[in-house]
Structure 1
Amino acid sequence: MDMPPKDRAKKKEEPMDAELTPGKRNINLTSLSWGFKTREVRITKIPNHFQVKKTENVLILVAFSIGLGSMWRLPYLCHQNGGGSFLLVYLILLMLLGIPLLYMEMIIGQWLRKDNMRAWRYLVPWLSGLGYSSMLACVLVSLYNSALIAWSLFYLGQSFDFPPPWEICPMVENISVTDIPCLRTLPHQYFWYHTTLHASIQIEEGIEVLVLYLTLCLAATWIFLYVIMTIRIKISMLMLIFSIFFPYILLLCFFIRSLFLQGAMASLRRLVTTEMSVLSSLDTWRQAGGHVLYSLGLGTGTVITFSSYQTRGENYIKVASFMATVNLVTSLLSTSIIFLVLGFWTATSGPSCVERNVSNLVKLITKGVLPQSALPPKDIIYKPPLEYLNWINHLPRNLQAEVVHFSLSCSILVQKEKFMEGPGLAYAAFSQAVSLFPGSSFWAIIFFMALAIMGMGTMITLLEGIVLPMQNIPTFTRHPKLVPVFVCMGGLLGSLIFTSQSGSYVVFLFDDLLVPMVLIVIVMFQNLSLAWVYGIRRFRAEMFGQLGHLVWAPFNFLWSYVTMPTLLALFTFYLLNLYHRKPLYYISWNDSMSQEVKQPYQQIVLGWVTFLSVLALLPIPVYPLHRWWYLDNQVICEIVGKPASSKKTETEPNKANQWAMHPLRRLTLRAQDKGQEHPSKNPTDALFLQPPPLWLKRDSESYSSFSLRGSTIGISYT
């Protein structure tokens, strides 16, 4: 049966945005005078497949928020930026940005009941590219997060040795002066850079050489993720609770044990001390703002997608605050442990380390493990630490190897306060923490297993934010099981670069420059779309109609006048940091010197950052241009095909010049025209069919400047 011409015209008008779902909808499309369109969507019937238990969903979001971002990222950022000063900046931005924007994404998902890609297509059709950019940002985060899981799996495999290989210096054949870096630094740091990463000295070197065992761990990660997403294992409530509380138990054990370490309290004091010079640093604010968005998953679309599967009536202010609080507590606990370990490393380095090693060698000689020729000079502990290294260098080769192998986990050279600033700080520090317990291999196994499980949980949530929207694309609708295949295969190939000899430097490049800047731009456009394009007062009216309660007034103020300027300032900081004349540096490992050094980024590396960021953000401007071109051609075709004269067109008023009618009033007129019964007989529609109150009449005349002069077209689907 052919469609009437009028309905065909409506069908052509929205080729990509009109979607039919179960239940009755009234969709009000507001078209602005310059072509911008926004929607008002009212759903009176919720499909059953959207219903998810409230407690289960909250636990999923909490498990996502306490992932690797809390235990891996914040500690090394805090160590780089002055400890307590960075924490203070992070707390400020968490209150001003994190919780309001997290609540915004949650309430959008609950309101529209759609995944991230379709939500922005429904809310602001001209900014539908936001969903695609969020998905690309999710891809970037997933790529280097898979490398973190591969590192955890490698540490897990090494934990089955007793003692774990990072506790002692490895036996080195043909040892020479340059082959004793384990005595110049800590065994844990040496194991990280030399054994785990085989790190090159520059990011441009060794990028084509893959580390075999890290590549195998990465392949195992993506295969496991594919199996989980294909068979869709049902995660029980007990498994969710265990995955959340078990890491807390381990962290509390490590924290209590680390409190009794030598020099631990001095380092903990640094964690709670603020310096005004650090607070005035733009780089500190830049990194803190990027971490707020990254740790809460803002801009990746996962929060909107998972919130769309909720039952209505939840208090998302409490959920957002609880999620941010759990994230903060986890970050503070893991950061405190790492700072305690850093204090122990600093206190036991230099002369103290020489004294401990001499005492250990005397005990081994007394037990007969080492010969008498390995006895150090009596006055060696009163000399500079380099004298101890010179004594080892003059020993016979076979005796050198044994002395180095039995050396304690401390550094002969004096360490500075900022020791080990790279992203591997958490792995080295936690490997030291598990070494403090008797039966360290057992503690290492359960800790790195928990770390890998937490990383897998975060990755599954991120991949669901990619797979679910893609399965709604017409190309994959008939074969939805192919989507996980393409996603996991592409993820494996795209993340191979992180298992190269310079892979850790590429991880730092993504984590410090690329991903936070992309997330800030995406969240900035999301805030702009809701607060200024759609209109914050109009949004409040919709929330009152759909959810039965108003959005908390302080959040309306923050969305309109605080979060947007703050995001613009952070984006400006990132641009200044990236394109300033002063060169950018990253932390690399110099194997000959056995220490970390600062290396400047080459221009070609920063060019790749620019290219990838533009590529991820390209859908935002491309989609409006495509839609403008499509609608412009459609209007020309309609004008050419229109009859020369028509009484209807002569008497029809010009809708483009009319003021927007309030949605509640329009529904009232529509109901009266159709001759419906009194709204009191239908409790569900009573809220929408009664005359609007005075405050809504005032709000309808003061929408945002983008929606004042729009024409209104009423479309009903049954």
Structure 2
Amino acid sequence: MDQPPKAALKVKKEEPAEEEPTSSKKSNNPTSLSWGFKTREVRVTKIPNHFQVKKTENILILVAFSIGLGSMWRFPYLCHKNGGGSFLLMYLILLLLLGIPLLYMEMIIGQWLRMDSIRAWKQLVPWLSGLGYSSILACVLVSLYNSALISWSLFYLGQSFDYPPPWEHCPMLENISVTEAPCLRTVPHQYFWYHNTLRASKQIEEGIEVLVVNAALCLFATWVILYIIMTIRIKISVLMLIFSIFFPCILLLCFFIRCLFLQGAMASLRRLVTTDLSFLSSLETWRQAGGHVLYSLGLGMGTIITFSSYQTRGDNYIKLASFMAMVNLMTSLLSTAIIFLVLGFWTTTSGSSCVEKTVSNLVKLITKGVLPQAVWPPQDIIHKHPMEYLHWVSQLPRNLQEEVVHFSLPCSILVQKEKFMEGPGLAYVAFSQAVSLFPGSSFWAIIFFTALVVTGLGTMITLLEGIVLPLQSSVPTSTKHPKLIPVIVCLGGLLGSLVFTSRSGSYVVFLFDDHLVPMVLVIIVVFQNLSLAWVYGVKRFRAEMFGQLGRLVWAPFTFLWSYVTLPTLLALLTIYFLNLYHRESLYYISWNGSMSQEVKQPYQKIVLGWVTFLSALALLPMLVYPLQHWWQLDNQIICEIVEKSSSSKKAETRPNKGNQWPAHPLRRFTLRVQDKGQALLPGKGPTEGYFLHPQTTLANKDSENYTNFSLQGGSLTYP
């Protein structure tokens, strides 16, 4: 065999180098972080032109959403329940630390990615793609019980066409003694709410299988209206949004001015602006204030990201987020002020004051001959306990009792405390009282409850489109059948919300609103904040924003996302868990019909079990997607190992078994050879190999073309 000429070859050991990703791979392949999550180099989606013309409409949607049911219904009863001014102070603190920064975060994500809530998180952090679907499920939970609120408003609107409205006077019930008559123990507005609107049971476990016909019909009408609006939204939405923004505010301002002149109103309004420091140490108050910040601004529901994706570039989202928060706050304060004024009026006119006015009214009616002399009240009755008045009325004949009760003033004979009513129906009861103060109360009732229905429908449309739009972009069949998903969503919403029309439906609403939905929203927003600030990275996010939008994200917001909002959310989440699972007894406000007053009832364990089940169901996609990605990654690694092993086995196959290639991998060698036609092939050891003749290629290599060599002191020698 011919031998190649001897030459001194310098050999350099070289470790295997990692492949550099190309520029095309950077935009598509995930980037691995130290803790194993995957993020992506984001490729921005271009929005079609027909979406960009909706800029004004989308801004109106966000503003209308900020002054919806959360500010007119939820905030007042939470503020009344948690100390007035103390709750307001906590809400302001959390609004600045949590609300505005997180609202800006969701807005800027939607503007940057041009994607709905489902695709946005898939693009940013594939391991947490379930965030978008969990937001959809949270939106479903909110829309279910919000539809019940609209059905209550529709019921009040239907009753407003009677003159006078039926809540101004409550009827005398048969087979009930006068000392148990609800008209003398509470105001007729509260009686109408519990007995006519809800027909409420005594406990949440009672009457859950019995539907209230009027409430069920109003709920059906609500979902029919929502479906119609969803299908023809482009034609009527702008006018409806403008109406839902300005008209309720004008009505609230009129009610506020009228209620300022009520007896005892200013004393109650003073409680709204007075801070009790003892409430600042209440974890329960902090919990409800933090939950309402997320609920009222729509954080964690995906609606902000979805609608912000339709905006044109260059919009100042810091101003828009601040404007939304301020509009929400001002509407909430105006609604709460009206309700506090009405509560002050009820507190002042109840008890002895109510007895004195009622006796004076009876004397006038007797003098005019409307009532007989037999019902002339005792002279010293106004100086005695109100129960003495009830005892005197009970001594009268049955027919006279009914006349006295019928002509009694609409106030409570029994003494009422400041917390006259604590249930979630406080806004409906108080606003019906405010409407009754105007001349021609039926006309004002029609106007106000029409505005309340329209406001609720505007909120619901935003919620439903936050569900429908992402699903339409994710489900391929929706392009051929665009109305399929709205039909499924509205039909499912109707069936799912029927539970709120049962006799204990208002208690289920309170359960959803106070425990289930806020806890789910806190968990979702925790993962959103964690994903953007720490998984994707704030610095990387700021660089992307500068490249896409031409300006940096405001630095204080990035600091808040990293070091303030996330710890605060985790603290809120801890309070929610302690409140739900480690508190001795959770209670809700129920109605005792025999006593005609609200009472506190403890939740049963099965009810809290349902809260756990529904919250786990809503958060399930956040767990499923990491498992799915782990499974796919594991399968991918196994496939790569199998492919490598099969390719190595093919390379090892030789005609002569004595000269087969080694099966184990070795280090690479780089040879600097005078004759460039010579090459080095790996051998059995780290310093051995084979020398290849210039005429030989890897395709036709055999044992005749190899020469053994050995490495000695950095130079290559061969026999």
TM-score, normalising length: structure 1: 0.85
1:20-75 deviation per Cα after TM superposition (whole angstroms, max 9, x unaligned):
xxxxx954631346642111223385431331344332221010110010011011
1:199-238 superposed matches below 5 A:
199-235=200-236, 237-238=238-239
Instruction: Report deviation, 1:475.
Output: 4.7
Q: Which residue of 2 aligns with 1:436?
A: 437
Which of 497, 502, 505 does residue 504 from structure 2 map onto?
A: 502
Which of 591, 596, 599 does residue 598 from structure 2 map onto?
A: 596
User: What runs of 5+ residues in structure 2 fail to find an aligned partner?
Assistant: 1-25, 652-664, 669-719
1:559-592 deviation per Cα after TM superposition (whole angstroms, max 9, x unaligned):
0000000000000000010112421111111111
Matched position secondary structure for 2:235: coil
Q: Which residue of 1 aligns with 2:356?
A: 355
The whole-number CA distance in structure 1 between the counterparts of 2:464 and 2:427 is 25
Which of 614, 634, 637 does residue 636 from structure 2 map onto?
A: 634
The whole-number CA distance in structure 2 between the counterparts of 1:302 and 1:341 is 34
The whole-number CA distance in structure 2 between the counterparts of 1:143 and 1:538 is 38
Q: Is the 8 A contact 2:179 2:394 kept in 1?
A: no
Q: Which residue of 2 aligns with 1:673?
A: none
1:108-132 deviation per Cα after TM superposition (whole angstroms, max 9, x unaligned):
0001111101110111111000001
Q: Which piece of structure 1 moves more, 236-245 or 187-196? A: 236-245
The whole-number CA distance in structure 2 between the counterparts of 1:190 and 1:245 is 31
Q: Which piece of structure 1 moves more, 44-53 or 306-315? A: 44-53
Q: Which residue of 2 aligns with 1:622?
A: 624
Matched position secondary structure for 1:313: coil
Q: Does 1:183 align with 2:188?
A: no
Q: Is the 8 A contact 1:175 1:401 kept in 2?
A: no
The whole-number CA distance in structure 1 between the counterparts of 2:45 and 2:228 is 37
Q: Which residue of 2 aligns with 1:52?
A: 53
The one-letter amino acid of 1:501's match is R
The whole-number CA distance in structure 1 between the counterparts of 2:293 and 2:435 is 29
1:483-533 deviation per Cα after TM superposition (whole angstroms, max 9, x unaligned):
111111111111111111111111000000000000000000000000000
Q: Which residue of 1 aligns with 2:114?
A: 113
The one-letter amino acid of 2:41's match is E
1:396-446 deviation per Cα after TM superposition (whole angstroms, max 9, x unaligned):
222222222222111000001111111011111011101111111111111
1:55-204 superposed matches below 5 A:
55-177=56-178, 179-204=180-205
The one-letter amino acid of 1:257's match is R
Q: Which residue of 1 aligns with 2:489?
A: 487
Q: Which residue of 2 aligns with 1:294?
A: 295
Change (3 A) 1:406 1:547: same
Instruction: Report deviation, 1:365.
Output: 2.8
Q: Is the 8 A contact 1:26 1:43 kept in 2?
A: no
Change (3 A) 1:97 1:46: same
The one-letter amino acid of 1:222's match is W
Q: Does 1:558 align with 2:560?
A: yes
1:286-365 superposed matches below 5 A:
286-365=287-366
Q: Is the 8 A contact 2:223 2:490 kept in 1?
A: yes
1:420-569 superposed matches below 5 A:
420-472=421-473, 473-569=475-571
Q: Which residue of 1 aligns with 2:15?
A: none
The whole-number CA distance in structure 2 between the counterparts of 1:194 and 1:44 is 54
The whole-number CA distance in structure 1 between the counterparts of 2:155 and 2:237 is 28
Matched position secondary structure for 2:143: helix
The whole-number CA distance in structure 1 between the counterparts of 2:371 and 2:598 is 33
Q: Is the 8 A contact 1:346 1:416 kept in 2?
A: yes
The whole-number CA distance in structure 1 between the counterparts of 2:623 and 2:239 is 45
The one-letter amino acid of 1:124's match is V
Which of 593, 610, 618 does residue 608 from structure 1 map onto?
A: 610
The one-letter amino acid of 1:52's match is V
The one-letter amino acid of 1:573's match is I
The one-letter amino acid of 2:626's match is P
The whole-number CA distance in structure 2 between the counterparts of 1:227 and 1:368 is 56
Instruction: Report deviation, 1:236.
Output: 5.6
Q: How many aligned positions are there?
A: 627
Q: Is the 8 A contact 2:178 2:393 kept in 1?
A: no
Change (3 A) 1:45 1:571: closer
Q: Is the 8 A contact 1:98 1:292 kept in 2?
A: yes
Q: Does 1:644 align with 2:647?
A: yes
The whole-number CA distance in structure 2 between the counterparts of 1:44 and 1:274 is 49
Instruction: Report deviation, 1:179.
Output: 4.6
Change (3 A) 1:197 1:527: same
Instruction: Report deviation, 1:242.
Output: 2.4
Change (3 A) 1:480 1:359: same
Q: Is the 8 A contact 1:169 1:407 kept in 2?
A: no
Q: Is the 8 A contact 2:45 2:114 kept in 1?
A: no
Matched position secondary structure for 2:168: coil
Instruction: Report deviation, 1:597.
Output: 0.7
The one-letter amino acid of 1:594's match is S
Matched position secondary structure for 2:380: helix
Q: Is the 8 A contact 2:71 2:328 kept in 1?
A: yes
Instruction: Report deviation, 1:626.
Output: 1.1
The whole-number CA distance in structure 1 between the counterparts of 2:471 and 2:551 is 33
Q: Is the 8 A contact 2:101 2:561 kept in 1?
A: yes
The whole-number CA distance in structure 1 between the counterparts of 2:667 and 2:235 is 57
The whole-number CA distance in structure 1 between the counterparts of 2:527 and 2:53 is 29
The one-letter amino acid of 2:136's match is M
The whole-number CA distance in structure 2 between the counterparts of 1:218 and 1:334 is 25
The one-letter amino acid of 2:499's match is I
The whole-number CA distance in structure 2 between the counterparts of 1:199 and 1:240 is 34
The whole-number CA distance in structure 1 between the counterparts of 2:238 and 2:361 is 50
Q: Which piece of structure 1 moves more, 67-76 or 44-53? A: 44-53
Instruction: Report deviation, 1:364.
Output: 2.6
Q: Is the 8 A contact 1:28 1:41 kept in 2?
A: no
Instruction: Report deviation, 1:178.
Output: 5.9
Q: Is the 8 A contact 1:168 1:407 kept in 2?
A: no
Instruction: Report deviation, 1:539.
Output: 0.2
Q: Is the 8 A contact 1:203 1:506 kept in 2?
A: yes
The one-letter amino acid of 1:161's match is D
Matched position secondary structure for 1:495: helix
Q: Is the 8 A contact 1:302 1:461 kept in 2?
A: yes
Change (3 A) 1:174 1:556: same
The whole-number CA distance in structure 2 between the counterparts of 1:367 and 1:484 is 62
Q: Which piece of structure 1 moves more, 565-574 or 389-398? A: 389-398
Matched position secondary structure for 1:410: coil
1:607-639 deviation per Cα after TM superposition (whole angstroms, max 9, x unaligned):
111111111111111110011102211221233
The whole-number CA distance in structure 1 between the counterparts of 2:367 and 2:155 is 37
Change (3 A) 1:412 1:632: same
The whole-number CA distance in structure 2 between the counterparts of 1:422 and 1:522 is 27
The whole-number CA distance in structure 2 between the counterparts of 1:625 and 1:396 is 75
Q: Is the 8 A contact 1:178 1:592 kept in 2?
A: no
